[in-house]
Structure 1
Amino acid sequence: MGQATETKNDSIPQVLQAIISNETNHALWLNTLSLLEHIGSRKILLTQSSEDTSEMILRHATEEARHALFFKKAARTIQPEFRSGYQNSSLVRGTAARIYFAKLDTLVRRNLRKVFPEEKTFTYLAYLYTTTVIEKRAMVIYTAYDEILNQNGSPIRLTNLILEEEGHLSEMSAEMFRLDPNASERLAQLEEEEAKIFARFWHQISEFSLN
């Protein structure tokens, strides 16, 4: 792939298949997914904890934390001795995973800051857009991953997790379109930029899968 700025979705199953063919790498991959869900949960609580915190936000943060725990436990399903935290040595390209999330967050905040100067609205919309873009990406990965797991007879399945992510996306979409008259165009633009950030991240994952 080199330093490609696009990642074709048909390359995702190939990389995932390569990862799960090695138990150690598979456990590290599951822990990496746990990290990303954990970062999402922590980010929600850090930015959205106020007197206006809604049921939707609390539910979303709780479910992200539960997803992080699900993936952490799944790593032990693959390797019973797996007890690691989020050290880079216990992840698939941990630094790249953290950079992906941070760059996406920066991208969204830079875009919105120019249009929504009022802090409360800006912070809420940043949460909605960042989470929506990253969860739409997660749906691509999780759907492909679940199919690979099924094909390989794995006891791990993502069916319920995917349904919960779909619910998040529906709720957040309604809020974005309520608050931002240009939500459709803005989301499309942010997804286009996210694709470039993701391609660099996935290049790192692809290289790992060849080990």
Structure 2
Amino acid sequence: MGSATVLSNDSIPNVLSDIVANESNHALWLNTLSLLEHLGSRKILLTQSSEETSEMILRHATEEARHALFFKKAARTIKPSFQWGYQNSALVRGTAARIYFAKLDTLVRRSLRKVFTDEKQFTYLAYLYTTTVIEKRAMVVYAAYDEILDKTGSPIRLTNLILEEEGHLSEMSSEMFRLDPGAKERLANLEAEEAKIFNRFWLQIREFSLN
């Protein structure tokens, strides 16, 4: 598979359909989603814990942790014997998933560091932008995944989770545009760069689904 291969969002349902068709792979995929939600919750708590921690931040961190638990339990719904943690053997391309998250975080921080010199403002905006870009990506994947779950008659549905993510996005968008006059252009640029990072990650997910 050449490094120049570019996948469109149209490839997402096809890859997920292949994964869902295999019980063991489906459980690994759910655990991978659990990992990504867990990484998000942990990152929020690590970077936003201070005397000024708001209700919004606590709610976001709590909901991300709850989503991680939801996906972890869903893996056991699909495969009752599934009891693993976040070892790479219990994930779909676990290293690639972690790299995706880390590279996106680095991308956002580098972009904002050039503009925002106040550390407190920089840290808060980094949280807003990183979470927004990741959750906008998650909405694309989750919507496609939920449609497949519905079509296959799966006992798992993502309806409530998607509604909560939509709520996150609305809150964070309001905060970004309040604090950053260049939010519209900056977010568009970050999303364009995220697409390249996600493409490299999704190529590995597709490779897994074909094995």
For residue 194 of structure 1, what is the aligned residue in structure 2? 194
Q: Distance in 2 between matches of 1:25 and 1:31?
A: 10
> SS state of the match for residue 166, structure 1?
helix
For residue 111 of structure 1, what is the aligned residue in structure 2? 111
- Matched letter for residue 75 of structure 2: A
Query: Could you say if the C-alpha distance between residues 5 and 116 of structure 1 is closer, same or farther in structure 2, counting changes exceeding 3 Å?
Result: farther
1:142 CA displacement: 0.1
> SS state of the match for residue 77, structure 2?
helix
TM-score, normalising length from structure 2?
0.99
For residue 27 of structure 1, what is the aligned residue in structure 2? 27
Q: Distance in 2 between matches of 1:173 and 1:3?
A: 33
Query: Could you say if the C-alpha distance between residues 139 and 202 of structure 1 is closer, same or farther in structure 2, counting changes exceeding 3 Å?
Result: same
Consecutive aligned runs of 4 or more in structure 1 exceeding 4 Å deviation = none
For residue 157 of structure 1, what is the aligned residue in structure 2? 157
Equivalences for residues 37-52 of structure 1 within 5 A: 37-52=37-52
Equivalences for residues 29-178 of structure 1 within 5 A: 29-178=29-178
> SS state of the match for residue 86, structure 2?
coil
1:5 CA displacement: 6.3
Query: What is the CA RMSD across the aligned residues, in angstroms?
Result: 0.8
Higher relative contact order, structure no. (Cα contacts within 8 Å, ≥ 6 residues apart):
1
1:7 CA displacement: 2.6
1:178 CA displacement: 0.3
- Matched letter for residue 52 of structure 1: E
Q: Distance in 2 between matches of 1:5 and 1:129?
A: 27
Count of residue correspondences: 211
Q: Distance in 2 between matches of 1:188 and 1:7?
A: 19
Structure 2 unpaired stretches of 5+: none
Q: Distance in 2 between matches of 1:210 and 1:164?
A: 32
Query: Could you say if the C-alpha distance between residues 167 and 19 of structure 1 is closer, same or farther in structure 2, counting changes exceeding 3 Å?
Result: same
Q: Distance in 2 between matches of 1:99 and 1:117?
A: 27
- Matched letter for residue 100 of structure 1: Y
For residue 7 of structure 1, what is the aligned residue in structure 2? 7
- Matched letter for residue 160 of structure 2: N
